[in-house]
Amino acid sequence: MTERPLAEPSAGAAAAAALDCRVSDRDVELRFSVSAGRRLAIVGPNGAGKTTAADLLAGHLRPDAGAVHLHGQLVSSPGLHVPAHRRRVVSLEQRPALLPHLTALHNVAYGPRSRGVRRRPALDRARTELEAVGCGDLADRRPHELSGGQAQRVALARALAVDPELVLLDEPLAALDVEVAPGIRRLLADRLTGRTVVMVTHDPLDLWALADDVVVVSGGRAVQSGTVEGVLTRPGSDFAARLAGVSLLEGTVVDDDEVHTPGGDTVTGHRPGARYEDVSGAEPGEVSDWAPGTRAIATIDPRAVAVHAAYGPADEAGAGSPADGVVPRSLSSPRNAWPARVVELAPAGALTRVTAELRDGQRVDAEVTSRSAAELALAPGVDVTLVVKAAQVALYPRS
Ligand SMILES: Nc1ncnc2c1ncn2[C@@H]1O[C@H](COP(=O)(O)OP(=O)(O)OP(=O)(O)O)[C@@H](O)[C@H]1O
């Protein structure tokens, strides 16, 4: 992704917001864009570069190479910088930044006023925006008289009162109580649909509820992007897989429906959308993304994984231990049986999430009943066999 030279200042002109730039002292080099009216979520591990991206769009940070465009206009490059207050970009932070000495109404009216709107129409607009977030009756309160959820509603009204071209959200629900967050999430979904939004989030719920598209960043680089559904059904990294709530295994294609992990386990699955012609049907010279030896990933829903006590040595029926690469006949229907060692247990009421490590260190989660976790005496360090039906394993070429 870093091969291509960084953007000429004219690039990115078509998107509502386009970032193609480098911040060298942070080792961040990001390239992504969002179309007008779309809501893009930036996700990634700590230190990946999410806040840096938001700061570049807001104008709080300047790139030392490349360019930032907003609605086709160059707003940042090494030689030019439109300051934050001259961009039509508003930010909604974890903790609402309301002016403490102003009432809710005047906080909301402040933006239009400072952009030259006369007092009366600015106050009218502020009332309309407060009504729209369900806070019409709080107009005369000052910020310290508002609850966290109410303050976040007022902050949203304040952000939207200036008709922003881009709304930046930085974990807007993270500081709210769990009882309050769903209502604010619904409000954001309602008020932000159809606007151009870039949001930083760690919460998969925010992705489904608030975003159309997602870009996954890691180590200062955009490593995957697409629609939320596309990325979460086909995660390209462990991080994205965790967001999607599935496990991800990497391996090498050996057959139409079979992948081998580096540890020697066979992963049998199905390929959503594939026509199963690649391995045997590719013409000579044709490049297939699913051919023996190419890299592949498998995604597995933890609810589809059964945890068995580790298989013993070969039994009378001639079946052997999966440690030897042999699956017992009695379990040949599920197809996948991988020896693994439990590394973590997370009980949550009647269900327990078991994280187990395959022989090559790749991890698979299983969701089992807490009763069976107790019966199997599962604990970190215990050897088990993970059993999954092939129909529950999705195989994809590694992009
Ligand atoms: N003010 C700064 N000066 C120098 N380096 C910084 C500064 N802020 C962040 N960095 C570095 O830049 C990189 C990207 O950080 P950034 O804050 O953008 O990550 P993030 O994805 O937002 O992380 P988090 O999820 O922890 O908030 C990290 O290596 C970080 O240490």
pLDDT over threshold 60, residue 283? no
Residue from 23, 24, 26, 91 to probe ligand 1 pocket by mutation (most atoms less than 8 Å from CB): 26
- Mean pLDDT within 247-266: 95
Summarize the confidence of residues 341-351 as an average pLDDT: 95
φ/ψ of 308, rounded to 5, equals: -115, 155
Question: Could you give the percent of the chain with pLDDT greater than 90?
Answer: 69
Instruction: Please write the tens of the pLDDT for every residue from 84-110.
Output: 989 999 999 888 889 999 999 999 999
Task: Name the closest-CA residue to atom 28, ligand 1.
Answer: 47
333 compared with 16, residue with greater pLDDT? 16
C-alpha of residue 94 to centroid of ligand 1, in Å: 17
Q: 45 phi and psi, to 5 degrees?
A: -65, 170
Residue 334, pLDDT score = 72
Query: Helix or strand or coil: residue 338?
Result: strand
Task: Kindly tell me if the per-residue pLDDT of 310 is higher than 70.
Answer: yes
| Ligand 1 pocket mutation, candidates 28, 30, 42, 51, criterion most atoms within 8 A of CB | 51
Distance 128 CA to ligand 1 centre (A): 37
From ligand 1's centre to the CA of 63, what distance in Å? 14
Is it the case that residue 330 has pLDDT exceeding 50?
Answer: no
**Distance between Cα 175 and ligand 1 center (Å):** 20
Q: How many CB atoms lie within 10 A of CB 183?
A: 14
pLDDT digits (tens, 9 = 90+) for 60-83: 999 999 999 999 899 999 999 999
The predicted-structure confidence for 169-183, as pLDDT tens digits, reads as follows 998 888 888 888 888
Architecture per CATH, 246-397: Beta Barrel (2.40)
Residue 279 pLDDT more than 70?
no
Calculate ∠ Cα 79-87-120, nearest 5°. 150
Distance 394 CA to ligand 1 centre (A): 34
**Which residue from 24, 32, 52 has its CB within 8 A of the most atoms of ligand 1, so it is best to mutate?**
52
Average of per-residue pLDDT across 115-125: 95
Q: Please determine, for residue 286, whether its predicted confidence score (pLDDT) is greater than 50.
A: no
Looking at the domain that runs over 17-234, which CATH code has it been given? 3.40.50.300
Note the helical H segments in the chain. Answer: 50-58, 104-114, 119-132, 148-160, 181-192, 204-210, 228-233, 238-244, 278-281, 370-375
Question: What's the 201 CA to ligand 1 centre distance in angstroms?
Answer: 15
Pocket of ligand 1 (CB under 6 A): 25-26, 28, 44, 46-52
Kindly give the distance from the C-alpha atom of residue 285 to the centroid of ligand 1, in angstroms, as a whole number: 45
- For the CA of 26, the closest atom of ligand 1 is 12
Query: Would you call 86 helix, strand, or coil by DSSP?
Result: helix
For ligand 1, atom 30: residue with the closest CA: 47
Please compute the mean of the pLDDT values over residues 8-28 and round it to a whole number. 79
Instruction: Give the CA-trace dihedral at 333, 335, 337, 338, to 10 degrees.
Output: -170
Question: How far apart, in Å, are the Cα atoms of 109 and each of 115, 129, 157, 196, 384?
Answer: 10, 9, 9, 22, 62
Provide the residue ranges of all domains of the chain, joining segments of one domain with +.
17-234, 246-397
Determine the distance separating the centroid of ligand 1 and the alpha carbon of 209, expressed in angstroms.
26
Within this chain, domains 17-234 and 246-397 share the same CATH topology = no
Pocket test for ligand 1, best of 27, 50, 94 (most atoms within 8 A of CB): 50
Q: What is the distance between the alpha carbons of residues 211 and 207, in angstroms, rounded to a whole number?
A: 5
Closest CA to ligand 1's atom 16 = 49
What letter does residue 290 receive in the DSSP assignment?
A: S
Residue 9 pLDDT > 80: no
Cα(50) to centroid(ligand 1), Å: 8
Residue nearest to atom 31 of ligand 1 (CA): 47
Nearest Cα neighbor of 220 from 28, 62, 44, 4 is: 28
Ligand 1 atom nearest to CA at 217? 21
Measure 46 CA to ligand 1 centroid, in angstroms: 8
Tokens for 27, please give them: 């080792």
